[in-house]
Amino acid sequence: MQFIETRGNDGQRPLCVPFSDAILNPMSSFGGIYVPESLPQLGLPFLEEHLDSDYKTLARAVLDAYEIDIDAEVIDAALSRYDDFDDPANPVPVVKVTDNLYVSELYHGPTRAFKDMALQPFGVLLSSLAQSREEHYLIMAATSGDTGPATLETFKNRANVKVACLYPDGGTSDVQRLQMVTEDADNLKVIGIHGDFDDAQSALKSLLSSETFRAKLKEKQTHLSAANSVNFGRIIFQQIYHIHSYLELVRQGAIELGEKIYLNVPSGNFGNALGGYYAMKMGLPVMKILISSNSNNVLTELINTGKYDLRERSVIATSSPAMDILKSSNVERIFYDLYGAERTKELMLSLDNDKYYELTTEETARLQSIFCADYCNDKEVNRYIKQAFDNGYLMDPHTATCFKSHDSCREKALKSIVYSTAEWTKFSPTIANALTGEVDTHDIDALKSISEVADTPIPALISELFDKPIAQGAVIDKENIESEILSFLE
């Protein structure tokens, strides 16, 4: 399997690269990113073959279908990270909530959020590659709250890698922040910035594309890579749980093999939705992918109108902060697949330079044939959290946005899989407010309140955070990110 560039080739880079090169150097010509040259075709025979497979067996089969240039023993070591999840035999439980709505719980890993599904094995792959090449890497990550903890967890104390993690100060939950700033491994650097996630992600992409920054790293005998979903090493693992969740519905007798379903994704940076799109293209029976947003509803506007307009917009702080994003990186990979490299380059550069682009009527129709979108404001989020809890299901605010799309976007009474991206513990003040009316509650008090109301324990991984010392206190202006990172590498 070879990987090619979303914005075409600049004549300075290879026309295509293997998987290992694409994940070690994720940025491509003209500021683009890598996509597979073609997708494996799996189809119903593959699904039937894996009806009784456990998660790791299914994952190995999907990776084998990609024919990636990673040694088998390294792949097995990477997939063994799922053994650290709550239930190694089934790291992704799929739970029935109503007759037509099932929730795929992606948060049963070490940081209690869906980013563990991709980042725990990804860390093993990248570190192993660095060691095999006798190279040293700086792994950069920008986070709206979940990528950071998962990146730090997978890379801490790994050989040949250091991590610089950027997060918006004040833009995450207390639990998410504590998961980052209490990490004390020598190869980790956590940097809070004055700004929002888009500022952090823009800084990351700027440094990844900067020849000057790379030259400074080269002086320190260090290469540069990224843990965000601009890196296809993330996306390849995010396809697997969509296939697993579909098979779970078949196993539970909810659907017949081959029956179409809806995939319903709370979406900020579009990586989760992209994984579902690729699974659909590889043969998963999907009617449509529902894109659920909060009040930062640029994706809703894109899919419903064909316009992506940031000219008069700034990020709105919501109760689902991991989706407080305006520039969604993985839309680019969808555009490449639908419209080709030349048009993708034109659209992405227009967004970078003018904060705006508009699809043609035909392009919009193609997008709408695959995706449907709606958004959910904070008041509606609270209502859906309370409604689900009264029916016996406890969920976080990101998952709640999907319940709105489930009500508004389905054209047929088919089964829907909602992807729950975080455990209730990550956003407890919002949930406590929805369930009990409490306001301005600190995380630790809200956790205790929910634990009592829901008669469920607080996981030790979460409760222990509040007693751990702060090891990473840096909060800086975004203009100082490069110097802060270079100082860390000293």
How far apart (Å, rounded) are the C-alpha atoms in residues 316 and 318? Answer: 6
> What backbone torsions phi and psi does residue 34 show, to the nearest 5 degrees?
-95, 145
Domains belonging to the chain, first-starting first, are 76-110+232-458 (3.40.50.1100)
Q: Which helix (H) or strand (E) holds 96?
A: strand 94-96
Strand partners, 17: 3
Question: Which among 122, 30, 147 is positioned nearest to 421, based on CA atoms?
Answer: 147
The predicted structure's pLDDT at residue 441: 81
How far apart (Å, rounded) are the C-alpha atoms in residues 69 and 426? Answer: 36
- Residue whose structure tokens are 């919002």: 430
Task: Map residue 347 onto helix, strand or coil.
Answer: helix
CB 392 within 8 A of CB 380: no
Residue count of the chain: 490
The predicted structure's pLDDT at residue 44: 96
Helix (DSSP H) and strand (DSSP E) numbers for the chain:
22, 16
| Residue pLDDT tens, the chain, 490 long | 999 999 999 999 999 999 999 999 999 999 999 999 999 999 999 999 999 999 999 999 999 999 999 999 999 999 999 999 999 999 999 999 999 999 999 999 999 999 999 999 999 999 999 999 999 999 999 998 889 999 999 999 999 999 999 999 988 889 999 999 999 999 999 999 999 988 988 898 899 889 999 999 999 999 999 998 899 999 999 999 999 999 999 999 999 999 999 999 999 889 999 999 999 999 999 999 999 999 999 999 999 999 999 999 999 999 998 899 999 999 999 999 999 999 999 999 999 999 999 999 999 999 999 999 999 999 999 999 999 999 999 999 999 999 999 999 998 889 999 999 999 999 999 999 999 998 888 899 999 999 999 999 999 999 999 999 999 999 999 999 999 999 999 8
